[in-house]
Amino acid sequence: MNMLRIHTFPDSFLTQTAKAVENIDGKLQDIIDRMAQTMYAAPGVGLASIQVGVDKSILVYDIAPRDENRELHVLINPKIISSEGEVLSEDEGCLSVPDYRADVKRAESILMEGVDRDGNPLRFDAEGLLAIVLQHEIDHLNGTLFIDRISKLKRELYKKRIIKQLKRSDEQ
């Protein structure tokens, strides 16, 4: 099975909004399997379809510690129905924003809806790390990166650093 390429900032695909999945078929199952393989290899705790160049509303996640029993979760057409409280997601990172971490304000708890990979409806509460991961991945499905949620100054410093790196690699 081939892993998928993770798009990284400033790739414009990351700013797209994912389209709703209307048909859960073998092709979609293959994308989900490849997304899971890519997430685990990266390694990450979540991955949104937009990050791998798929404009369908899919996310995969697994917040289990790497050395314990892994349990892949799939959410298709996920939606945050409600949110409560505020928490600071300390040192948040992203596979699409390499070599950068920042503190991000997130909701403390959320109520989620979506369907699983078999089309079964899901509705559940999430808090703590799970709530943070789901908010982060749903942001991706809406064309938002976590750096869009930090101060403009910090965001601009990161953008300048990446643009410099890209220019250097183009010159070589």
CA–CA distance, 124 with 132 (Å, rounded to integer): 14
Residue 137 a catalytic site member: yes
Strands (E), the chain: 46-48, 58-61, 73-84, 87-94, 97-106, 109-115, 121-127
**Angle in degrees, CA 58, 73, 11, rounded to 5:** 40
Buried b / exposed e over 60-70, threshold 16 CB at 10 Å, is bbbbeeeeeee
Catalytic residue among 108, 137, 156, 171: 137
Q: Which residues are known to be catalytic? A: 137
